[in-house]
């Protein structure tokens, strides 16, 4: 459906369009991952791409994360532009040695002679009742590593445009995509200029409080902000989008304007992205704060299987609304 | 060697100025002796010593302002009560040093914690606003930007009012009442900020108590005659023995006090209040309490109290007195956990045993710290107080 310059598409379709664009634009680009070819992707993101681009560019790989991620890194060093799909972040631990010890370090260890322009996409977060081992939110593991660029696609726009922007990076990029959002439909602006992956994005402007979030927190925070607006509270919503290196200028300026901050994420609270944001706010704009920085994070348990417990293990819209009200009217 | 330090004469005292040493090196001191005069926000206070020995050294020069807890003198506990050996005064040159060099960290820092957001503090500093005077509306009573902006707005209004009316008062008097005012303000703001008060009230028939007092007064010389307030203080002290959780302080948790030292609110002529303590009121007779009041109230009004009288209270009584308001709801003096308020005694219609009579009644209020006790304790206290006042001869 086309409305002026916007199209309404699913998050899954937005991801596919991004992959198709980078495959079309550069012959050196290829997609590799478990079941990405004949099966069409574990989440049907790459369905039809094998037929469109052929086996040379859409490559099924064995169930061996360390092996195929290593192969992708090698191909990048050798001059190719691989897009490596790890089915979910849960399995990426097996490839972590390749990512942390090879992809992230080689540019530094070679004195800048060897670049690793690999892009690694991972499904992330709670799916739909997939239980603890398939529901992790581990953005913070990768955001900890110097040498990586870590992106989080919290909106359809970013699902569509982060990958083309990432392909221009000479350094390894990790993109987190959110399994729970795949079927969600939303409008995407046709944006040939792409998005800026060095900047956080202010998704909604406001003056009373800064809600700082990423990934699945973005839409929940936007909906909460709409409800808060009906109560006369004007919330600003910041989508961090780039988790490493953090665009702190954007959220620090926002907090300096609103004087209050709430950080929202599905991931566990301890040693998380939200801890980092909170620390930087205290370090750099302490004297602008009019209330303690608050966080809404995932409950620190392995994610439960039953749907109602799964829902209550992560912050929901109503939690955000409640917390903001408490901060503004204690 | 015993260290004698600047005492804290209440939660609101941060420092004091040594006005005069009343002892010199070589002088023997014993518990209760007055060693120095110190000027605080509450006037000139005679500072007592609580140890025995000989003054070894005076560490602070007169007219020096030092924080609470600063070392002021050294007392040698060995050299006591040997009058035959004359102490060589010459060898005991007083060593008086400026306090800055003797920077001993105060071990009792009782300053008022003001909770305010960093932004609020910044704006307050820019506008010369005293945070201790502001009620916070933020989390746990923290002061926020909104509160400061409100205070700035109010300050402008007050300034305009002051400009329109000419105030001509002696400067010195104004100074004393200003510092006293700000001490009261700080203590009461802290109380309102930190203490969740609950309030109870009971009407008490004083007929028996006053009749007993009049009988007693008939045989007493004029200067020893009793006033109702002495009776009320004694009854409160006796009741506190039965409800000890109100005779306590709150310092992160409830700390019961064994001594019952009743702080009695004395109003000053130029405004402000001062609260001297009546020590061990439960152990004193009504006559002794009256004697104590006759001594302490004029000294309080002259701002000449002893340090122990200012700092030792474990509970407070505020009494409106003759012809005043019917009832007073007190604000607790931190870190205490209760204040008892007596309205003025007046004749009221009173029903008892199906008959109506006219009785001298007093309305008694209790404000309790809800962190420390509950309404049930408070109610028990008021009932006990009533029982005591119905049996005055047993007091």
Q: Among A242-251, B102-111, B211-220, where is mean pLDDT lowest?
A: B102-111
Residue B10 per-residue DSSP state: S
Q: Indicate if ipTM > 0.85.
A: no
Residues of chain A neighbouring B139 (CB-CB closer than 8 A): 291-292, 327, 330
Report yes or no: A172 and A103 within 8 Å, Cβ to Cβ: yes
For tokens 């108590």, name the residue.
B209
State pLDDT tens for residues A161-197: 999 999 999 999 999 999 999 999 999 988 878 899 9
Q: Which residues of A272-285 are buried (b: 16+ CB within 10 A; e: fewer)?
A: bbbbbbbebbeeeb
Residue B201: strand, helix, or coil? strand
pLDDT tier for residue B162 given thresholds of 50, 70 and 90:
low
> Residue A183 sits in which domain range?
2-189
The reported pTM is 0.56
Flag if A259 and B140 touch (Cβ within 8 Å).
no
Q: What is the mean pLDDT of chain B?
A: 82
Structure tokens belonging to residue B12? 């609101």
Residue B200: which of B366, B388, B392 has the closest Cα? B366
> B222 with B143, same domain?
no
Judge whether B372 lies within some domain: yes
User: Which of B91, B111, B131 lies at the terminal end of a domain, its last residue?
Assistant: B111
User: Which of A189, A209, A225 lies at the terminal end of a domain, its last residue?
Assistant: A189
Judge whether B182 lies within some domain: yes
> A67 with A90, same domain?
yes
Cross-strand bridge partners of residue A33: A60, A85
> A12 with A155, same domain?
yes
Chain B residue closest to A286 (CA)? B118
pLDDT above 50 (res B246): yes
Distance from CA of B150 to the nearest CA of A (A): 15
User: Which of A138, A166, A189 lies at the terminal end of a domain, its last residue?
Assistant: A189
Q: CA-to-CA distance for B298 and B294, rounded, in angstroms?
A: 7
pLDDT of residue B183: 79
Judge whether A196 lies within some domain: no
Flag if A291 and B120 touch (Cβ within 8 Å).
no
State pLDDT tens for residues B50-79: 888 888 888 888 888 888 888 888 888 876
User: Which of B51, B83, B111 lies at the terminal end of a domain, its last residue?
Assistant: B111
Distance from CA of B188 to the nearest CA of A (A): 22
Nearest to A287 among B119, B137, B139 (CB): B119
> B137 with B245, same domain?
no
Residues of chain A neighbouring B142 (CB-CB closer than 8 A): 291
Residue B370 CB partners (closer than 8 Å, separation 6+):
B195, B196, B197, B198
> A150 with A9, same domain?
yes
pLDDT of residue A327: 95
> A174 with A210, same domain?
no
Judge whether A258 lies within some domain: yes
A-interface mutation test, from B141, B144, B148, B150, most A Cβ less than 10 A away: B144
How confident is the model over B360-378, as a mean pLDDT? 94
Structure tokens belonging to residue A90? 């849960």
> Nearest 5°: phi and psi at A205?
-90, 145
Residue A171 per-residue DSSP state: S
CB atoms under 10 Å from CB of B122, counted, come to: 18
Nearest to B144 among A287, A288, A290 (CB): A290
Flag if A330 and B120 touch (Cβ within 8 Å).
no
Residue A137, CA atoms < 13 Å, CB-side half-sphere: 30
Judge whether A225 lies within some domain: yes
> B173 with B262, same domain?
no
> A164 with A234, same domain?
no
Q: CA-to-CA distance for B30 and B54, rounded, in angstroms?
A: 9
Distance from CA of B144 to the nearest CA of A (A): 6
CATH of the domain at A23: 3.40.50.970
Flag if A288 and B145 touch (Cβ within 8 Å).
no
Judge whether A194 lies within some domain: no
Total CB pairs under 8 A between chain A and B: 31
pLDDT of residue B112: 52
> A161 with A219, same domain?
no
Task: Using a CB–CB cutoff of 8 Å, tell me whether A79 touches chain B.
Answer: no
Q: CA-to-CA distance for A53 and A62, rounded, in angstroms?
A: 20
In the predicted model, residues of chain A with pLDDT beneath 50 are 1-2
Distance from CA of B213 to the nearest CA of A (A): 52
> B212 with B358, same domain?
yes
> A173 with A257, same domain?
no
> B158 with B34, same domain?
no
> B318 with B288, same domain?
yes
State pLDDT tens for residues A113-155: 999 999 999 999 998 899 999 999 999 999 999 999 999 999 9
Residue B275: which of B234, B319, B329, B223 has the closest Cα? B319
Nearest to A291 among B121, B122, B144 (CB): B144
Residue A212: which of A153, A109, A294, A298 has the closest Cα? A294
User: Which of B111, B131, B163 lies at the terminal end of a domain, its last residue?
Assistant: B111
Residue B191: strand, helix, or coil? helix
Q: CA-to-CA distance for B239 and B380, rounded, in angstroms?
A: 9
Strand positions, DSSP E, chain A: 2-3, 6-10, 29-33, 58-60, 81-88, 119-124, 149-152, 173-178, 185-189, 201-204, 209-213, 235-239, 242-244, 261-268, 294-298
Report yes or no: B271 and B290 within 8 Å, Cβ to Cβ: no
Bridge-based pairing state of the strands B64-67 and B338-342: unpaired
pLDDT of residue B171: 41
Known catalytic residues of A?
Answer: 65, 134
State pLDDT tens for residues A102-112: 999 999 999 99
> Residue B20 sits in which domain range?
1-111
- Which residue stretches of B220-367 are H helix? 228-242, 286-301, 307-311
Judge whether B192 lies within some domain: no
> B1 with B56, same domain?
yes
Bridge-based pairing state of the strands A119-124 and A173-178: parallel
> A251 with A123, same domain?
no
CATH of the domain at B54: 2.40.50.100
> Nearest 5°: phi and psi at B99?
-70, -25
> B71 with B147, same domain?
no
Bridge-based pairing state of the strands B71-76 and A261-268: unpaired
Nearest to B145 among A290, A292, A327 (CB): A290
Report A:242-271 residues touching B (Cβ under 8 A). Answer: 259
Nearest to B120 among A286, A290, A327 (CB): A290
Determine whether B352 is exposed, middle or buried from the number of CB atoms within 10 Å of its CB (0-12, 13-18, 19+). exposed
> A93 with A166, same domain?
yes
Q: CA-to-CA distance for A121 and A89, rounded, in angstroms?
A: 9
For tokens 């409305």, name the residue.
A3
Residue A177: which of A153, A148, A143, A149 has the closest Cα? A153
> A39 with A153, same domain?
yes
Q: Containing H/E element for B197? A: strand B197-205
Residue A286 per-residue DSSP state: G
Residues of chain A neighbouring B119 (CB-CB closer than 8 A): 259, 287-290
pLDDT of residue B182: 79
B-interface mutation test, from A283, A291, A326, most B Cβ less than 10 A away: A291
State pLDDT tens for residues B313-335: 899 999 988 888 999 999 999 89
Task: Using a CB–CB cutoff of 8 Å, tell me whether A283 touches chain B.
Answer: no
One DSSP character per residue, B39-108 reads EETTEEEEEE--S-EEEEEE-B-TTEEEETT-EEEEEESSS-S-TTS---TTT-----B-TTTS-PPPS-
Judge whether B24 lies within some domain: yes
Residue B357 per-residue DSSP state: E
Among A148-152, B285-289, B306-310, the range with the most confident prediction by mean pLDDT is A148-152
> B96 with B146, same domain?
no
Which contacts qualify for B20-27: CB closer than 8 Å, 24 or more apart?
A: B20/B62, B21/B58, B21/B62, B23/B55, B23/B73, B24/B55, B24/B58, B24/B94, B25/B55, B25/B56, B25/B57, B25/B58, B25/B89, B25/B92, B25/B93, B25/B94, B26/B54, B26/B55, B26/B87, B26/B88, B26/B89, B26/B92, B27/B54, B27/B55
Number of domains in chain B: 3
Q: CA-to-CA distance for B291 and B230, rounded, in angstroms?
A: 9
How confident is the model over B117-138, as a mean pLDDT? 87
pLDDT of residue B88: 46
One DSSP character per residue, B211-256 reads HHHHHHHHHS-GGG---HHHHHHHHHHHHHHHSGGGSEEEESEEEE
CB atoms under 10 Å from CB of A149, counted, come to: 21
Chain B residue closest to A256 (CA)? B119
pLDDT of residue B115: 87
Q: How many residues does chain A have?
A: 330
Chain A residue closest to B144 (CA)? A290
Q: CA-to-CA distance for B229 and B209, rounded, in angstroms?
A: 11
CATH of the domain at B386: 3.30.559.10
Residue B101 CB partners (closer than 8 Å, separation 6+):
none
CB atoms under 10 Å from CB of B258, counted, come to: 8
One DSSP character per residue, A36-56 reads SSTT--TTSTTTTHHHHH-TT
Nearest to A287 among B118, B137, B142 (CB): B118
pLDDT above 90 (res B42): no
Flag if B138 and A289 touch (Cβ within 8 Å).
no
CATH of the domain at A214: 3.40.50.920
> B260 with B367, same domain?
yes
Judge whether B216 lies within some domain: yes
Number of domains in chain A: 2
């Amino acid at each position: 459906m086309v409305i002026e310059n916007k199209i309404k598409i699913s998050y899954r379709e937005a991801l596919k369009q991004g992959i198709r664009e980078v495959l079309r634009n550069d012959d050196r680009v290829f997609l590799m991952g478990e079941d990405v070819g004949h099966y069409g992707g574990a989440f049907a993101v790459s369905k039809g791409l094998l037929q469109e681009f052929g086996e040379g560019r859409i490559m099924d790989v064995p169930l061996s994360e360390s092996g195929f991620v290593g192969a992708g890194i090698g191909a990048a060093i050798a001059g190719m532009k691989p897009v490596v799909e790890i089915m979910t972040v849960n399995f990426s631990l097996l490839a972590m040695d390749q990512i942390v010890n090879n992809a992230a370090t080689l540019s530094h260890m070679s004195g800048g002679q060897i670049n690793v322009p690999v892009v690694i996409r991972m499904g992330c977060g709670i799916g739909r009742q997939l239980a603890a081992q398939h529901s992790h939110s581990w953005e913070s593991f990768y955001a900890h590593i110097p040498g990586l660029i870590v992106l989080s696609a919290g909106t359809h726009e970013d699902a569509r445009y982060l990958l083309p922007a990432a392909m221009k990076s000479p350094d390894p990029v990790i993109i987190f995509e959110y399994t729970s959002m795949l079927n969600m439909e939303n409008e995407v602006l046709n944006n040939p200029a792409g998005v800026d992956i060095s900047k956080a994005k202010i998704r909604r402007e406001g003056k009373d409080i800064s809600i700082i979030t990423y990934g699945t927190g973005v839409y929940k925070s936007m909906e909460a902000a709409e409800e808060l607006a009906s109560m006369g509270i004007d919330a600003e919503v910041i989508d961090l989008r780039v988790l490493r290196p953090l665009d702190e200028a954007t959220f620090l300026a926002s907090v300096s304007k609103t004087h209050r901050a709430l950080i929202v994420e599905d991931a566990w609270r301890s040693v998380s992205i939200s801890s980092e944001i909170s620390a930087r706010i205290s370090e750099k704009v302490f004297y602008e704060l009019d209330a303690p920085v608050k966080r809404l994070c995932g409950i620190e348990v392995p994610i439960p299987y039953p749907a109602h417990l799964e829902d209550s293990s992560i912050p929901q819209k109503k939690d955000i609304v409640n917390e903001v009200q408490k901060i503004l009217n204690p | 060697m015993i260290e004698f330090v600047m005492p804290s004469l209440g939660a609101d005292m941060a420092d004091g100025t040594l006005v005069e040493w009343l002892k010199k090196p070589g002088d023997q001191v014993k518990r209760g002796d007055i060693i120095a005069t110190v000027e605080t926000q509450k006037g000139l206070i005679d500072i007592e010593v609580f140890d025995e020995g000989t003054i070894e050294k005076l560490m602070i020069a007169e007219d020096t302002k030092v924080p609470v807890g600063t070392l002021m003198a050294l007392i040698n506990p060995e050299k006591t009560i040997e009058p035959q050996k004359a102490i060589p005064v010459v060898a005991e040159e007083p060593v008086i040093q400026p306090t800055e060099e003797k920077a001993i960290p105060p071990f009792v820092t009782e300053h008022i914690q003001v909770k305010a957001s960093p932004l609020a503090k910044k704006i307050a500093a820019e506008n010369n606003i005293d945070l201790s005077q502001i009620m916070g509306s933020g989390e746990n009573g923290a002061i926020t930007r909104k509160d400061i902006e409100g205070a700035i707005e109010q300050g402008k209004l007050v300034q305009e009012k002051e400009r329109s009316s000419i105030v001509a008062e002696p400067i010195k008097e104004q100074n004393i009442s200003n510092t006293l005012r700000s001490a009261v303000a700080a203590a009461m703001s802290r109380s309102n900020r930190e203490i969740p008060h609950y309030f109870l009230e009971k009407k008490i028939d004083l007929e028996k108590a006053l009749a007993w007092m009049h009988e007693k007064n008939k045989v007493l010389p004029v200067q020893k005659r009793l006033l109702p307030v002495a009776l009320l203080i004694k009854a409160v002290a006796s009741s506190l023995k039965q409800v000890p959780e109100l005779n306590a302080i709150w310092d992160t948790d409830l700390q019961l006090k064994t001594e019952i030292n009743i702080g009695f609110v004395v109003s000053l002529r130029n405004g402000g209040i001062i609260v001297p303590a009546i020590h061990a009121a439960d152990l004193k007779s009504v006559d002794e309490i009256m004697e104590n009041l006759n001594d302490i109230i004029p000294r309080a009004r002259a701002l000449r109290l002893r340090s122990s009288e200012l700092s030792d209270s474990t509970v407070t009584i505020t009494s409106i007195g003759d012809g005043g308001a019917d009832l007073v709801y007190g604000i607790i003096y931190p870190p205490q956990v209760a204040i008892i308020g007596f309205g003025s005694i007046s004749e009221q219609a009173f029903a008892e045993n199906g008959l109506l009579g006219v009785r001298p009644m007093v309305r008694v209020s209790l404000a309790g710290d809800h962190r420390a006790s509950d309404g049930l304790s408070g109610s028990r206290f008021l009932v006990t107080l009533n029982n005591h006042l119905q049996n005055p001869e047993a007091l």
